[in-house]
């Protein structure tokens, strides 16, 4: 953890290490509140404000990403910073990770050939809305 924080240019404080560990250990796409609960299980003195501020700085330096969502009432964070896609279940509101290098290649090739007007793309993420089955 210390190394990751240092590499990102952040001082490795106790709180930051805890918050980063909590983020990594939580499955799915946790909210700041969920990260806070996880942090509190270990050290009950860390404040929710610190979790918010720290997650923001993590996003800024690329240690985590925010998950895009259409109807979210609160932000969700993704500890997986590699390019991947998401399945949005319209029934359960779950956001499920979807990783497919073939798809990545397909999209990259598409835009390599036929570029965008007045726009330099940096990353692609496909949002697949639908329903979970059996």
Partner DNA sequence: CTTTTGTGGAGAATCATTCTTACCTGTGAC
Partner DNA sequence: GTCACAGGTAAGAATGATTCTCCACAAAAG
Residues that bind Mn ion (CB under 5 A): 36, 48
* Shortest Cβ 9–a second copy spacing (Å): 19
Q: How far apart are CA 50 and CA 63, in angstroms?
A: 16
Neighbours of 29 (CB within 10 A): 22
Tell me the backbone φ, ψ of residue 31, rounded to 5 degrees: -85, 170
* Shortest Cβ 55–DNA spacing (Å): 8
Q: How far apart are CA 117 and CA 129, in angstroms?
A: 27
125 binds, among Zn ion, DNA, a second copy, none (CB under 5 to 8 A by kind): a second copy
Question: And the tokens for 26?
Answer: 């939580």
51 near 32, Cβ under 8 Å? yes
Q: What mask of x and - would describe binding to DNA in positions 71 to 110, judged by CB under 7 A? A: --xxx-----------------------------------
Q: What mask of x and - would describe binding to a second copy in positions 104 to 133, judged by CB under 8 A? A: --xx--xx--x-x-xxxxxxxxxxxxxxxx
Q: What mask of x and - would describe binding to DNA in positions 13 to 32, judged by CB under 7 A? A: xxxx--------------xx
């Amino acid at each position: 953890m210390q190394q990751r924080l240092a590499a990102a240019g952040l001082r490795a404080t106790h709180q930051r290490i805890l918050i980063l560990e909590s983020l990594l250990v939580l499955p799915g796409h946790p909210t700041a509140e969920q990260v806070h609960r996880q942090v509190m299980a270990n050290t009950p003195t860390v404040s929710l404000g610190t979790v918010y501020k720290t997650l923001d700085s993590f996003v800024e330096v690329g240690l985590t990403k925010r998950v895009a969502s259409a109807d979210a009432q609160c932000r969700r964070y993704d500890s997986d910073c590699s390019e991947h896609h998401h399945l949005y279940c319209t029934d359960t509101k779950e956001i499920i990770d979807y990783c497919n290098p073939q798809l990545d290649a397909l999209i990259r090739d598409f835009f390599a050939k036929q570029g965008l007007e007045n726009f330099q793309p940096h990353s692609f993420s496909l949002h697949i809305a639908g329903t979970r089955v059996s």
